[in-house]
Structure formats: C-alpha cells, structure tokens
Amino acid sequence: MRFLVFAYLPRVVDFLLFLDFSLFPRGFVCLSTIASFSNHRGMPPCRLLSTCDGVPPGLADAETIFALSSGHGRCGVAVIRVSGPASATALRCMAGLTRSLPPPRTALLRSITDSQAKEVLDRGLVLWFPAPHSFTGEDSVEFHIHGGPAVVTAVLQALGSVPGMRPAEAGEFTRRAFQAGKLGLTEVEGLGDLIHAETEAQRRQALRQMSGELGRLYQDWSHRLKRCLAHVEAFIDFSEDELIEDGVLNQVDRSVCTLQAEMVRHLKDERRGERLRSGVQVVIAGATNAGKSSLLNTLCQRPAAIVSPIAGTTRDVVETALDIGGFPVLLSDTAGLRDSLDLVEREGVRRARERVEQADLTLVVVDCAYLPTDVQQAAAFLQGHLKSVLQTQEQPETALPADRYLLVLNKTDLVPEDQRQKLDRELRQVSGLPPVCLISCHTNEGLQDFLTVLHSNVKTLCGDPLSGAPTLTQARHRAHLQQCVAALAQYQRYRDADLALAAEGVRLALTSLGRITGRVGAEEILDIIFKDFCIGK
C-alpha cells in the first residue's frame, strides 16, 4: 500500500516535498500517524495522497468503524470487528504492538489493553486482514475476546477512544463489502437470509444465494442485454455508413425473445423461494369446537391457544412459527366458522375467512362425531363442509383450489376402532376429496401420519432449495423482473416502427435488472460497441 504526503512549504515556493511511506517498514505508518505528523507544531500543511490500488474508490477516505459481530449476550468467545483506514492504529493501540503488524490472517495471542488508561482488559486473539483481502475490502482487524458483557463493553469503549474510530451502523460492514465489489446485492440479501435462517431448508437456500448463483444468473442476463443494447444503438448510429450488417437486428430479436422466455420461466416458480424465505402460511379452519386450537397446541407442543368446550372461544387469529421437517411454517388458528349475532365473533369469522383465502395450505378440521356412519353419506357431508369452509368472501360460490387444503378428521378416539379403520380405508377411495388424515389430539393417535402428509405438502409448496435453477426469494426481485419482461415487450412492439423507442425498451429492461444486482453502468455498453464493431479503429 502506498501513501504519499504532499507538503507545501510557504517560504520555499518552488519546493514540493513528497514522502513515499511505502519505503518505510510495513506497518510503521498509518493514517493517524500521518494526521499527527501534519498537525505537529512547525510542520507545513500536509495533504494525503493515496496511490493504493487495493482499496476501491470511495473507501480510501472512509471512516474506520467497529462493532461486536458475534451477537449480544453472554458467550464463550465474542468477536469485535474493525474496518477502515485506521484499523492498523486500532490493532497497535489495543494489542500493544510496537513494531511490525502480525502476518495477515494469522491468529496472534495478545493482551488487549486500553491504551489511554494503560489497563489490560482481556487476553485474546487478534487477526489482521490488509486490504483488499478482507470481508469489506478495507484494512480490517478482528479481536476474539472472552464473551462476558463487561469484557465486551470495556473493549468497545477502548476502541471508541482511538482517534478516527466510531461505532458501526447496522449493516455497515456488509454495505462496505458491497461498495468494494466483494458482494453483489443478491449475495448481500443471501447473507442476511443466512443470518436469519431458522430451518434447514432456509439455510440451504440462503447459502446457495450467498454463494452467488442467483447473482450470476442475473449478471448473465444483464451481460446479454448490454450486448443487445450495444448492437441496437450501433445499428442506429452506424448502419447508414454500412459498417453494421442488417443481420445484427435479427440476432438481437432472437436474443430478446430468448431472454424474455427465460425470465418468464423464472417468474413462474409459484413463489417457492419466497415461501421458503418467509414461511409457508398454513391456516387451521373449520366449525366451532372441532378441535382447531387443540391441533395448534399439539403441533407446537405448548398451550398457545385457549382450549374450551364453549363454542366460539377463539375470536382472533393465533399464529405460531413451526419447523416441519426443515421447512418454515407459520401456523394460524382461526375462529370457528358459523353464523353469529355477536359482533366480535362475526369479526373473528371474517378474519378467519380472510386468512383462508391468503393461505398457502388450509387444514380443514372436522369433528368425527358429526360424520354419518355410511361412507357415501360421510363423503357427501365432508364435501359440503369443505365448500362452506373454503368459499371466498367476495364470491361465495367460488371455492379455493383443491390442492390448497387437507382434511383433518379429529377426535377419532371417540369412534370405535372398527368403524375408524373402515372410515379411513373407504374415504381414501372416494374421488373428489383431498387427502384425509384421521387423528386424535387427545391421544396423539394418527399424529405421525398426519405430520408426514403435512411435510410432503409443505415440501411441494417450497420445492428443493438445492435442485434446479435458483428461485426468486424477494418480492422486489419479482417486481423488477416483471418490469424487465414488460420492457422487452416494448422492444418487440416498436422494433419495426421506431428503433430508437425499441432500444429504450432494452435500456429500461437493463435498468430494471440492474436494480436487482445493484450494478448499472453505461461504460460497459460503450466498451462492447467498440470491441464488437471496432468503430474508430
């Protein structure tokens, strides 16, 4: 890393002094040293010039930040991260280093001290990450200390007293990594999802996105769009000079059609990635006293909802998060569906129907005591019950799709064994019914089979996060891609009528895609024009 100090000597107008600190021993000079040097009495005004190629533009003059990176609370080891041009100063002050800095990415056991109070705060590991080979792309330091709250607080306070240091804002380390080109925007989002992942499937999807697979897909589309735009603009500007062949536009047409088809196919993922990221919305619905709240409590293994023999006990939606075989589920218990004169209960029923309409999967709970003994009559009863539960509020005659619900027959412990087995066997053969699960929340009978069916349905809704093409995980990705597809349709619509307007469609598509990745530039388009057509050679 090279730092030049430009000193202007007012009494010797024609003399300019340049000090090249790259000639000094490694680690001897840091930014705070230069600042002290320039402020020293009798020294001329100095200006810092950086010729370092390792730090991206905009980061060389950034403030140095620090923060606890390992999470709050008492723990065995806490990690405090420092990033910025004064990181070496912080390392020297806190670790008592008087000569060279430690080898990069090598743990060194040192006493962690408060340089102002001259007090040892802890004994731990320090690691030095010189730019650009760090998470943020800047000079960075990590302090691995004991995780007691008092130790962490003392070290943070000592870092705050080092000149040029300030506490980091939320997400600022990752933001600097993005600005340095270490992470793309989709990778940043994947990192955030990985930190917040609560189930195995969420972890897999987040890790896949953080690895850059989704970003590479969008970057490939972006590169192809830039090439299309470059060719169209080159045709507009230079076709009259016969420097561009007529077949160029036909090639652009094919590329645009192919890109549009790929994007539409990417959008038709039935929101699998978004479901996996935010959780599958599963709603328990049915008549009063069917055992809906008991089912919720059984699945979450705690008394999350009040259970009472009094009909209409549940008035509002009770929601809890579950991990079903590694997949995230947001399970909601709702008010029993019935006509009521009670205004509060009627509002609860309205909210219940609203949740059913929004649900990815609805568990329709039925009390076995109300089932006719004849299988055909029982099937007709269940079909009528499903229709009343799943009808939409705006169009009561319209039922929800059949693949969005399961039929759960509860309280099977009150039915004789032979009748229960016959019911289970024959209902499976009735056409027009969704999967039927017989359970007892009182004895847990049939619960394991029900969980197997539930897991299978949830897995189908989310898909396998590791197989196939990467899926959309953010609503903003979907919105920008829809804008991109619409913009490409503009190109196709105006291609023959107004080529300049058609080119604007490709430009809008490129801008929409760039908003997903966070990379939008015009220079790359110009580079392609000169590279492909050698104009001005």
pLDDT (0 to 100) of residue 369: 83
Residues 284 and 398 both lie in one domain: yes
| Mean pLDDT, residues 320-347 taken together | 89
Interval 163-173 mean pLDDT: 89
Residue 118 lies in a domain: yes
Are 152 and 223 in the same domain? no
Phi/psi at 24 (nearest 5 deg)?
-80, 160
Predicted local confidence at residue 12, as pLDDT = 32
In a domain, 58, yes or no: no
Residue at token pair 């009909």: 311
CATH classification of the domain holding 524: 1.20.120.430
State how beta strands 327-333 and 280-286 pair: parallel
What pLDDT score was predicted for residue 259?
A: 96
Answer yes or no: do 265 and 279 share one domain.
no
Q: What is the pLDDT of residue 215?
A: 92
pLDDT of 69 above 70: yes
Give the number of other Cβ atoms within 10 Å of residue 387's Cβ.
12
Q: Domain residues for 77?
A: 64-179
pLDDT, residue 535, reads 34
Q: How far apart are CA 240 and CA 244, in angstroms?
A: 8
Question: Taking 90 as the threshold, does the pLDDT of residue 78 lie above it?
Answer: yes
**Tokens encoding 499:** 């080529």
Side chain identity at residue 325, one-letter code: G
Is 322 or 9 the better-scoring residue by pLDDT? 322
Asked whether residue 71 is domain-assigned, the answer is: yes
300, 293 in Cβ contact below 8 A? Answer: no
Query: Model confidence at 306, in pLDDT bands (50, 70, 90)?
Result: low
CA dihedral 236→242→247→252, nearest 10 degrees, is -20
Would you place residue 482 in the very low, low, confident or very high pLDDT band (cuts 50, 70, 90)?
Answer: very high
Take residue 290 and report the two structure tokens written for it: 């069917």
The candidate with the shortest Cα–Cα distance to 263, out of 496, 501, 510, is: 510
> Where among 417, 435, 462 does a domain terminate?
462
Pairing of strands 3-8, 16-20: antiparallel
CA angle 370, 374, 377 (to 5 degrees): 70
In residues, how long is the chain?
537
- Which tens digit of pLDDT belongs to each residue from 231-278? 898 888 876 666 667 788 899 999 999 999 999 999 998 899 999 999
Please give the pLDDT value at position 76: 92
Both 512 and 403 in a single domain? Answer: no
Are residue 343 and residue 416 in the same domain, yes or no? yes
DSSP string spanning 69-120?
Answer: -S-SS-EEEEEEEEESTTHHHHHHHHHT--SSPPPTT--EEEEEEETTTTEE
Mean per-residue pLDDT over the chain, rounded: 82
Last residue of a domain, one of 407, 438, 462: 462
User: What pLDDT does 134 receive?
Assistant: 95
> What SS3 class is residue 366?
strand
pLDDT of residue 71 exceeding 60: yes
| Per-residue pLDDT tens digits for 12-21 | 333 333 344 4
pLDDT at position 8 is: 32
pTM above 0.95, yes or no: no
**pLDDT tens digits along 495-504:** 888 999 999 9
Check pLDDT > 80 for residue 365. Answer: yes
Is residue 97 assigned to a domain?
yes
Q: Is residue 190 scored above 50 in pLDDT?
A: yes
**Residue 534 pLDDT more than 60?**
no
pLDDT of residue 484: 96
- The predicted pLDDT at position 184 comes to 86
Burial class from Cβ neighbours inside 10 Å (0-12, 13-18, 19+) for residue 445 reads: middle
What CATH number is associated with residue 317? 3.40.50.300
Q: Do residues 259 and 311 share a domain?
A: no
- Give the mean model confidence (pLDDT) for residues 156-177: 91
Number of domains in the chain: 4
> Which of 428, 462, 496 is where one domain is finished?
462
The more confident residue out of 186 and 38 is 186
pLDDT score for 188:
86
At residue 337, the pLDDT reads 85
Q: Give the strands of the sheet with 3-8, arranged side by side.
A: 16-20, 3-8, 46-50
Residue 376 and residue 246 share a domain: no
Token couple for 249: 């536009």
> Are 379 and 455 members of one domain?
yes
Q: What is the CATH number of the domain that holds 167?
A: 3.30.1360.120
Distance CA 76, CA 96 (A): 24
Rounded-to-integer distance, Cα 130 and Cα 87, Å: 9
Q: What is the DSSP string of 374-419?
A: SHHHHHHHHHHHHHHHHB-SS-TTPBPPGGGEEEEEE-GGGS-HHH
Q: What are the beta bridge partners of residue 282?
A: 331, 361
Q: In angstroms, rounded to a whole number, what is the distance separating the alpha carbons of residues 424 and 155? A: 65
The residue ranking higher by pLDDT, 454 or 303, is: 454
Beta-carbon count within 10 A of 376 CB = 10
Check whether residue 352 and residue 498 sit in a common domain.
no
Count of Cβ atoms closer than 10 Å to residue 86 Cβ: 27
Average pLDDT over residues 222-235: 91
* Residue 467 falls inside a structural domain: no
pLDDT of amino acid 5: 36
Cα radius of gyration rounded to whole Å, the chain: 32
**One-letter amino acid for residue 109 of the chain:** L
pLDDT at 512: 92
Quick one: which of 324, 304, 312 has its CA closest to 286?
312
User: Do residues 387 and 426 both lie within one domain?
Assistant: yes
Task: Give dist(CA 50, CA 58) in Å, integer.
Answer: 12
147 three-state secondary structure: strand
What is the pLDDT averaged over residues 137-141? 96
Same domain? For 263 and 301 the reply is no
User: Residue 4 has what pLDDT?
Assistant: 37
pLDDT at residue 532 greater than cutoff 70: no
pLDDT-derived band at 48 (thresholds 50, 70, 90) equals: very low
pLDDT the model gives residue 372: 86
Strand partners, 281: 330
Average the pLDDT over 169-174 and give the result: 86
Whether residue 154 sits in one domain with residue 31: no
